[in-house]
């Protein structure tokens, strides 16, 4: 019984270690994509503060990392941009925002392909690949939600008419209240949010043939 308990503990530690590594790498690619597209579109703010890099230490937020490990929902340090440097600020800001989720989708598809190629007896490798797919899909879905300060909020802004866009931008002042309502354990929004994320992730994993 003791040996079985120790074995379970070791497996749990390995899983947590794998998740941390995958989150670090995936978040880094996500933030690098933001910085790269911003630079290509004429804003060198991210580059000037050292964010145009694949060094995880430049991007990771410790609390966001813990949240991703515990709840599969996390974040990194936001990449700074200056809209004034863009030719078309609203459009280009949306493109910069979209770059992060697209990078995660790309990684998820690449590792989903590897998942079906790697032999099933390579359990550790398959576990690593599975988490790469799951976490990148999680980052993509979470960041596409149109709530401030997520990427989806900036992407949605480019679609809206000018009058509604002004109201949309003003919702950023209510960020603490919005997320408090979402993360309060007994909040109806918390249940809806969790159910939405779980349903979408399950559907995407099913489409990719991963279980």
* 172 is an active site residue: no
Sorted by sequence, the CB contacts under 8 Å of residue 153 that are 6+ apart come out as: 97, 146, 147, 168, 171, 172
Asked if residue 132 lies in contact with residue 108, where contact means CB atoms within 8 angstroms, the answer is: yes
The full set of domain ranges for the chain reads: 2-207
Alpha helices in 118-159 (DSSP H): 123-144, 151-157
So what's the pLDDT on residue 71?
65
Six-digit token pair at 68? Answer: 């991703």
Indicate the pTM of the whole model.
Answer: 0.89
So what's the pLDDT on residue 190?
81
Mean pLDDT lowest among 39-43, 80-84, 106-110, 161-165: 161-165
Q: Which of 83, 64, 84, 86 is nearest to 150 (CA)?
A: 64
So what's the pLDDT on residue 191?
84
* Percent of the chain surpassing pLDDT 70: 92
Res. 92: pLDDT tops 70: yes
So what's the pLDDT on residue 25?
93
So what's the pLDDT on residue 84?
96
| Residue 68 confidence class, pLDDT cut points 50, 70, 90 | low
| Residue 192 confidence class, pLDDT cut points 50, 70, 90 | confident
Six-digit token pair at 161? Answer: 């008419």
So what's the pLDDT on residue 72?
58
| Residue 184: Cβ within 10 Å count | 11
Mean pLDDT, the chain, integer: 88
Res. 103: pLDDT tops 90: yes
- Compute the distance between CA of residue 131 and CA of residue 55 in angstroms, rounded to an integer: 20
Mean pLDDT lowest among 4-8, 28-32, 141-145: 4-8
**pLDDT tens digits for 194-203?**
889 999 999 9
Q: Please say whether the dihedral angle defined by the alpha carbons of residues 184, 185, 190 and 194, taken in this order, is positive or negative.
A: positive
Alpha helices in 59-122 (DSSP H): 62-71, 89-117
């Amino acid at each position: 019984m003791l040996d079985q308990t120790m074995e379970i503990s070791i497996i749990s530690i390995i899983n947590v270690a794998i998740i941390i590594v995958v989150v670090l790498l995936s978040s880094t690619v996500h933030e690098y994509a933001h910085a790269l597209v911003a630079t290509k579109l004429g804003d060198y703010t991210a580059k000037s503060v050292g964010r145009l890099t694949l060094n995880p230490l430049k991007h990771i937020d410790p609390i966001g990392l813990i949240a991703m490990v515990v709840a599969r929902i996390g974040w990194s340090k936001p990449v700074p941009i200056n809209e004034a440097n863009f030719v078309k600020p609203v459009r280009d800001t949306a493109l910069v925002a979209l770059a992060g989720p697209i990078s995660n989708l790309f990684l998820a598809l690449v590792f989903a392909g590897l998942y079906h190629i790697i032999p099933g007896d390579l359990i550790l490798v398959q576990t690593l690949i599975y988490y790469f797919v799951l976490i990148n899909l999680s980052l993509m879905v979470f960041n596409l939600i149109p709530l401030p300060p997520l990427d989806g909020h900036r992407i949605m802004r480019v679609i809206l008419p000018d009058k509604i866009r002004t109201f949309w931008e003003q919702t950023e002042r209510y960020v603490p209240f919005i997320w408090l309502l979402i993360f309060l354990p007994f909040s109806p929004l918390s249940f809806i949010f969790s159910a939405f994320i779980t349903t979408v992730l399950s559907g995407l994993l099913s489409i990719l043939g991963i279980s």
